[in-house]
Amino acid sequence: MRYLLTMVFLLQFGVNLHASKTFIYIDNSNIRDIDKVIKQTEDIIRASNYDNFIVYISNDKSPIILNSLESLSQDLKQLYSISPSSPQVLFEVNMISETLETYFPDIQSRNYDSTLSEEINMYFIFDLTHSIEYDQTKTLINKVLLSNRLKFEPGLVKGLNVTAYYNDNFKQEEKSIISNIYKKQGYEIIFF
C-alpha cells in the first residue's frame, strides 16, 4: 500500500513538474496561405501534448481567442472569413496582456532571476511579404514580453521559450540577418 501511494504521489508530482502553457499569436494582417498557418498552429499544439493553450488571432479591435481542443480545427477555419487588417501594436499588446492574465494568471514574473511556476511556450506566427515588416513584428514581440515582465535587460525569464514563425518568402541573406537578431534576443526563429 505504501508503495502504491508513493507511486501515485511521484506520478502526480512528475506530471506537475512537466506541465506547460502554450500561447500562440497569429498575425492576420497578411496571411496568404491559411492552410499552412492552420497546420503550423495545430502542429504546435500537438507537440505541446495539448497542454493548457491559447490561440490569439489578431482581428482589428476584436481578436479571436481559442482555447478549446474539441473545436480547434473548426475554429481555426475562421481565418478564411476574417478580413485581413494590420495589427495596431499598442492595442495588440494590451489585448494580449489581458488575455495572458486571464488564462495564465500567474504569468508575470517578479524579476529576471525569478523562474516561472510552469514553463510557458510562446509562438508568434507571421506571414510576411517584405523584410520591412519584420521590424513591426519584432516590436510587437518585445513589447508583449516587456509589458508582461517576461523579458528584462539580461534576457528572458527562466521557464519561458519564445519562437517566431515567418513564412519562407525571405532571401537567404535576409533569413540569416533576422535569425541572428532573434538569437541575440533569446528567441528561436523558424521559417515555414
109 lies in some domain = yes
Cell representation of residue 16: 506537475
Q: Is position 58 within any domain? A: yes
Q: What is the mean pLDDT of residues 107-111?
A: 65
Structural domain includes residue 15: no
Q: How confident is the model at residue 8 (pLDDT cuts 50, 70, 90)?
A: very low
Range of the domain at 149: 21-191
Give the Cα separation of 94 and 96 in Å (integer): 6
Q: What is d(CA 33, CA 127) in angstroms, rounded to the nearest whole number?
A: 8
CA Rg value for the chain = 18
pLDDT for 60 beyond 90 = no
Give pairs for 136-142: CB < 8 Å, separation 24+: 136/89, 137/27, 137/164, 137/166, 138/181, 138/182, 138/185, 139/89, 140/87, 140/89, 140/92, 140/93, 141/187, 142/185
Is residue 91 included in any domain, yes or no?
Answer: yes
Does 10 score more than 60 pLDDT? no
Q: Does residue 180 lie within any of the structural domains?
A: yes
Number of independent structural domains in the chain: 1
For the sheet with 188-191, list strands across it.
Answer: 64-66, 52-57, 20-26, 115-126, 158-166, 188-191
Beta bridge partners of 126: 166
% of the chain beyond a pLDDT of 90: 24
H or E segment to which residue 14 belongs: helix 2-17
Position 44 confidence tier, pLDDT thresholds 50, 70, 90: very high
CA gap 55, 68 in Å, rounded: 9
- Dump pLDDT digits (tens) for 117-164: 889 999 999 876 655 566 778 889 999 999 998 988 778 988 999 999
CATH number at residue 44: 3.40.50
Domain presence at residue 6: no
Alpha carbon distance 191, 20 (integer Å): 24
pLDDT at 16: 42
Q: What is the pLDDT of residue 36?
A: 86
* Per-residue pLDDT, 145: 93
Mean pLDDT of 8-24: 60
Do the domain assignments include residue 179?
A: yes
Res 1: pLDDT: 52
User: Does some domain include residue 7?
Assistant: no
| pLDDT one-digit tens code per residue, 75-100 | 888 888 887 777 788 999 999 999 99
Whole-number pLDDT of residue 97: 94
Task: State yes or no: pLDDT of 41 exceeds 60.
Answer: yes
Range with the lowest mean pLDDT among 20-24, 51-55, 110-114?
Answer: 110-114
